[in-house]
Structure 1
Amino acid sequence: MRRPALYSTSRPARAGTPAGAPAGSDPANTETPSVAAAAAAGAAPSRWSRWRPDPSRPVWLWAAILLLAAALVATLVSRPQQRRLTQDDITAAVLKTLSTETLPSEYSRAYDRIRPSVVRVVSYVKRSRLKGDDAKAAAHGARPKPLGPAGGEGAEGDEVESGVGTGVVIIDKGVILTNLHVVAGSDRIKVTFHDGLEATATITGVQAENDLAVLQAAKIPDDMIAATMRSTADLAPGDKVLAVGFPFGIGPSASGGIVSGLGRAFKSPEGKQEMKNLIQFDAAANPGNSGGPLVTMDGEVVGIVTAILNPTPARTFLGIGFAVPIENAASAAGLPPF
């Protein structure tokens, strides 16, 4: 009886298979044992691998910073430099503006600054009292004469308009300076502010020697602005001034001129009063300007218009007006001197 064939568990190496290679390996794999072992353990680093970018290495971080800095410097150097302005450039720009833009005049700027502080002042007397004093008033030539529109604008019932003048707010609580002759002997005083608000006013102070009266308005605008007063110490003949008021009740009206003289004296037509240390000016002023401000080109008050010189009965302007220096006017209101 034949014995069954026995087979060994090891097989001879196939042709092309390296000796010692594991059984079942791919005969197409022709790598040498050393290469295969190196591949199994991980490829050995090449000589160029040390220069491969690695963010974790400081040398590459510094290299990136230097590269960015170089790019920034190159950008700044290549940018065209801006030319510096010279005085000739500035002069040319100013001349161009002056030739293309219409700028307000000095008088216009002064008017804009003083306008919110100027008020219209109207005084009234009772008709019954006026009639009773007719004979006495006619004898002294002192009967009140309306200076505003005919018909007694604003008169109520038994009242008649006796005078129209101007005032200027010197304290934003409604304290107003005006001329005493505008409100003297009145039964009621009405003031009209720049925004149209009308209010009654009372006399709180008088400086008769300078024909000044201080009024307190019963109510004032919410945005009341008081005038800025300026010392006359540096005022000189030839300085530009602006007179603002309500001549014959029309206004507010502005007229420009210069200071004609200082330290002048003026005697009233009736000869009852002589005022001294007045500012003489040639800005047009007429009845109704009385009590208004005389201001500089900065819009600052240097005087209160009080009189005009006219030897004729016309009571119109002939080129000579007088104002009380603001130092005297301010003292009438109890304000400290400059």
Structure 2
Amino acid sequence: MRRPAFYSRSPRGPQGAAERGAPDAPDAPGIPDTPAAPAAVAAPRWQPGRRSFGLLLALVLAMGATGIVMWPKQGTHTLTQKDIDSAVLRTLQTATLPSPAAKAADIIRPSVVRVVGYGTEKTTPEAKTEKRGRNLAKGKPPEAPPESVAPGGQQVERGVGTGVVIVDKGIILTNLHVVAGAETVKVTFADGLEAPAIVTGVQPENDLAVLQAQKLPDDLIPATMRSTADLQPGDQVVAVGFPFGIGPSVSAGVVSGLKRSFRSPEGKQELGNLIQFDAAANPGNSGGPLINMNGEVLGIVTAILNPTQQRTFIGIGFAVPIENAATAAGSPPF
């Protein structure tokens, strides 16, 4: 493409005027005709064209931009620690945050399972008390027949407890008395998946049993276990489980004692080195996790103290420390 001329270089003088069609100037009187001396060619004057104007404009813009950058900024405010603290305080005052117990329960919830033992219905006083409690919790008459029947229709629900997944392969810790005598065991995971389970190990001295689920969720999350070496009375704890079969239910309290002993109401077994706590627990919490405020498992809930035969919570519960519980699975964590 042709580029237009930036500026004209046409000569100025008589020749140029003649070429432009200007009339000839008359001869001056009294002056003979003599050959005209060649006229001196005037030096062309510099005339700014488009390129020079563009360069000049670019230079002006560059200087203006530099001035803007170098000009001291007015009205800017640098955040200080005081500003940050004020913003955090305002958020804490205006936002509703979950309680430490709620956050801990949310962490452990994917690892908690409902454990149901099936078999011939027991007629012991304990079994009858637990059955009445489950029925009342579900809004049914105390002596209503069991509504849960094992696959095949021959076995009835004998008892409900809780378990906690400690290995993502489906290894579950629970209490031995939850599954003792059961002919069939079924676990229900947090996502609702029901699966049969088998007992792969027991530790009678600590009332512990190890289950292996036969079917697993796709995203099974095992619990994190925490040593009790630095646990102290007064530390906050949470118990998660299925009291009387309903749940998962959450109760919060504190550690009220360490290295406690407990003898079962029938006097058949004595447990030692237990964690004493005051978070509410009832039949069905057995086998569930006792956790700290970080959602880490400190122990396995195993018993409640009650001088009567009612088997309801009066303020003292016991848990097997996780160090002992994990050895039942053959994998001490610490």
Q: Provide the TM-score with structure 2 as the length reference.
A: 0.79
- Gap runs ≥5 in structure 1: 1-17, 19-23
- Tell me whether 1:125 sits opposite 2:119 in the alignment: yes
Question: CA-to-partner distance for each residue in 1:225-246, whole Å, 9 max, x for gaps?
Answer: 1111111112111111000011
Whole-Å Cα distance in 2 between the matches of residues 204 and 169 of structure 1? 14
CA RMSD of superposed structures (Å) = 2.9
Q: Hey, what does 1:79 align to over in structure 2?
A: 73
Q: Hey, what does 1:221 align to over in structure 2?
A: 217
For 1:191-210, list aligned pairs within 5 A. Answer: 191-210=187-206
CA shift in 2, pair 1:54/1:270, >3 Å: same
Work out whether residues 146 and 152 of structure 1, in 8 Å CA contact, stay in contact via their aligned partners in 2: no
Q: Hey, what does 2:262 align to over in structure 1?
A: 266
- Gap runs ≥5 in structure 2: 1-13, 27-35, 136-143
Whole-Å Cα distance in 1 between the matches of residues 130 and 50 of structure 2? 101
Q: Hey, what does 2:280 align to over in structure 1?
A: 284
Task: Quote how far apart the aligned CAs of 1:74 are.
Answer: 2.7
Q: Hey, what does 1:327 align to over in structure 2?
A: 323
> Which residue type is aligned with residue 174 of structure 2?
T
Whole-Å Cα distance in 2 between the matches of residues 274 and 81 of structure 1? 75
Task: Quote how far apart the aligned CAs of 1:25 are.
Answer: 12
Whole-Å Cα distance in 2 between the matches of residues 94 and 83 of structure 1? 18
- Select which of 313, 318, 324 maps to 2:314: 318
> Which residue type is aligned with residue 66 of structure 2?
L
Whole-Å Cα distance in 1 between the matches of residues 76 and 145 of structure 2? 71
Q: Hey, what does 2:4 align to over in structure 1?
A: none
> Which residue type is aligned with residue 333 of structure 1?
A
Q: Hey, what does 1:307 align to over in structure 2?
A: 303
1:202 counterpart SS class: strand
- Tell me whether 1:28 sits opposite 2:27 in the alignment: no
For 1:44-63, list aligned pairs within 5 A. Answer: 44-46=43-45
Work out whether residues 129 and 310 of structure 2, in 8 Å CA contact, stay in contact via their aligned partners in 1: no
- Tell me whether 1:253 sits opposite 2:249 in the alignment: yes
Q: Please say which structure displays the higher CA radius of gyration.
A: 1
For 1:236-247, list aligned pairs within 5 A. Answer: 236-247=232-243
1:196 counterpart SS class: coil
Work out whether residues 304 and 317 of structure 2, in 8 Å CA contact, stay in contact via their aligned partners in 1: yes
Task: Quote how far apart the aligned CAs of 1:53 are.
Answer: 8.8
Runs of 4+, deviation exceeding 3 Å: 24-27, 29-35, 51-55, 63-67, 141-150
- Tell me whether 1:275 sits opposite 2:271 in the alignment: yes
Task: Quote how far apart the aligned CAs of 1:78 are.
Answer: 4.8
CA shift in 2, pair 1:253/1:27, >3 Å: closer
> Which residue type is aligned with residue 191 of structure 2?
D
Whole-Å Cα distance in 2 between the matches of residues 263 and 119 of structure 1? 27
Q: Hey, what does 2:94 align to over in structure 1?
A: 100
